[in-house]
């Protein structure tokens, strides 16, 4: 077997795959936990919603910047080592956010540290699945775990504010970081790709695949971060708003593994195309000032549609770059992260315009539909 192909396949290590699911689910809690209680945090720091959006931006700046270094480190030093460092960063960052006298400037710095953890943790976890011998189905399960982390944060954190206020977002994240670190330490030793000596700074073949990740995962996280305040401004109770908004990420738990099964049967292109249409329709339903049931349906459709492309996207990335699978994962995922980095604060600004945020969701719908153009060039 060629060395490059062998490098892209790990020996069978179910323990590593399970640890990867825990790392991915625990650390992705951080991507939506702030958006889940945007209004209480604004009151605590004495700022408007737009600066609260910067707390998510601060996380995704470092989440984005650490993608390629984390992929490179996973190839050279093993994904388990990267996962341990990522968990430590998330734990320390959330600990700083819990300090009573932490001002907004320190909060931004702490969220940037958490972003190193969430960004490196996502790459390390997915590569740990590969190193543990997991194929598209296991990668789909990993995708479901990461959706669960973000979705559960949207559902659970708002309900905890009655007892622990704004701190609910951060003490829960700190506990989950501890769990992620313990799981990474328990995982089997991950395979290194010792001969991988090049960085992927740009890859024309992978760029359309990255665009699909931006349209699915990236736009879904932007929508998830702002769906709660969107619905609250339509006089929906916080708990109900959190429940409906959580569906944007939580509904993909099942469809990501199912997408992994379907991706092995040469249906990837049709699967991804149908999903993009579903994302556009779901976001469009949220943009309309309709009854709560319609908004919940839109959240569910958006979430379900977001899940299917995950395994097909990352399987395509690893096939294209078998000699540097960790770096390929990081390159493709960086498109989604950049979308979140830019889109989250822009969506927050829409709440200062007529429609109370509806314009942001209309733009999400339009961008999802436009991404069908990238599908034609993607090597799925």
We report the CATH number of the domain holding residue 265 as 1.20.1250.20
The first and second tokens of residue 100, run together, are: 């009573």
The first and second tokens of residue 352, run together, are: 């200062």
Instruction: State how far the Cα of 19 lies from the Cα of 286, in Å rounded to an integer.
Output: 35
Structural domain includes residue 6: no
Q: Which residues contact 270 (CB under 8 A, 6 or more apart)?
A: none
Which domain, by its residues, includes 121? 13-191+205-375
Structural domain includes residue 274: yes
The pLDDT profile of the chain, 380 residues, written as one tens digit per residue, is: 333 333 444 456 778 888 999 999 999 899 888 877 888 888 888 887 778 878 888 998 998 899 888 888 888 888 889 999 999 999 999 999 998 777 899 999 999 999 999 999 998 998 888 777 767 778 888 888 887 887 788 778 888 877 878 888 899 999 999 999 999 988 765 555 544 455 566 677 888 999 999 998 889 888 987 888 888 888 888 778 878 887 887 777 778 888 888 876 667 888 899 999 999 999 999 999 888 899 899 999 998 998 888 888 888 887 877 777 777 888 888 898 888 878 887 888 888 888 888 899 999 999 999 999 888 888 77
Cα 52-370-249 angle, rounded to 5 deg:
45
- What confidence tens digit (pLDDT) does each residue in 193-249 have? 544 455 566 677 888 999 999 998 889 888 987 888 888 888 888 778 878 887 887
Q: 365 near 287, Cβ under 8 Å?
A: yes
The first and second tokens of residue 233, run together, are: 């401004």
pTM: 0.74
| CB environment 233-256: b (16+ within 10 A), e (fewer) | bbebebebbbbbbbbbbbbbbebb
Distances (CA, A) of 158 to 118, 163, 206, 222: 21, 10, 38, 18
Structural domain includes residue 1: no
Number of domains in the chain: 1
């Amino acid at each position: 077997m060629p060395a490059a192909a062998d490098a892209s396949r790990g020996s069978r290590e179910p323990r590593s795959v399970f640890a990867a699911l825990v790392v991915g689910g625990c650390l992705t809690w951080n991507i939506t936990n702030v958006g889940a209680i945007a209004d209480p945090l604004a009151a605590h720091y004495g700022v408007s919603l737009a600066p609260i959006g910067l707390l998510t931006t601060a996380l995704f700046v470092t989440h984005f910047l650490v993608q390629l270094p984390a992929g490179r480190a996973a190839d050279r030093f093993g994904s388990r080592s990267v996962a341990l460092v990522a968990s430590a960063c998330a734990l320390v960052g959330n600990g700083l956010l819990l300090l009573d006298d932490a001002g907004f400037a320190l909060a931004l710095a702490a969220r940037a540290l958490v972003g190193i953890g969430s960004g490196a943790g996502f790459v390390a976890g997915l590569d740990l699945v590969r190193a543990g011998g997991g194929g598209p189905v296991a990668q789909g399960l990993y995708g479901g775990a990461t959706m669960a982390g973000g979705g559960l944060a949207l559902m659970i954190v708002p309900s905890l504010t009655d007892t622990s206020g704004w701190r609910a977002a951060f003490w829960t994240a700190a506990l989950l970081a501890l769990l992620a670190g313990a799981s990474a330490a328990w995982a089997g030793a991950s395979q290194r790709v010792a001969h991988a000596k090049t960085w992927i700074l740009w890859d024309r073949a992978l760029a359309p695949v990255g665009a699909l990740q931006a349209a699915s995962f990236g736009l879904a996280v932007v929508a998830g971060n702002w769906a709660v305040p969107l619905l609250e401004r339509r006089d929906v109770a916080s708990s109900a708003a959190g429940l409906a908004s959580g569906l944007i990420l939580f509904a993909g738990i099942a469809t990501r593994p199912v997408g992994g099964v379907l991706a092995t049967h040469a249906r990837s292109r049709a699967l991804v195309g149908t999903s993009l249409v579903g994302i556009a329709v779901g976001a469009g339903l949220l943009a309309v000032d309709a009854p709560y049931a319609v908004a919940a349906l839109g959240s569910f459709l958006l979430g379900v549609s977001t899940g299917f492309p995950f395994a097909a996207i990352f399987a395509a990335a690893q096939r294209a770059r078998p000699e540097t699978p960790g770096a390929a994962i990081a390159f493709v995922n960086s498109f989604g992260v950049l979308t979140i980095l830019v889109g989250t604060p822009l969506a927050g600004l829409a709440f200062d315009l007529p429609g109370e945020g509806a314009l942001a969701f209309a733009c999400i719908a339009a961008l999802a539909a436009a991404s069908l153009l990238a599908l034609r060039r993607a090597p799925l």
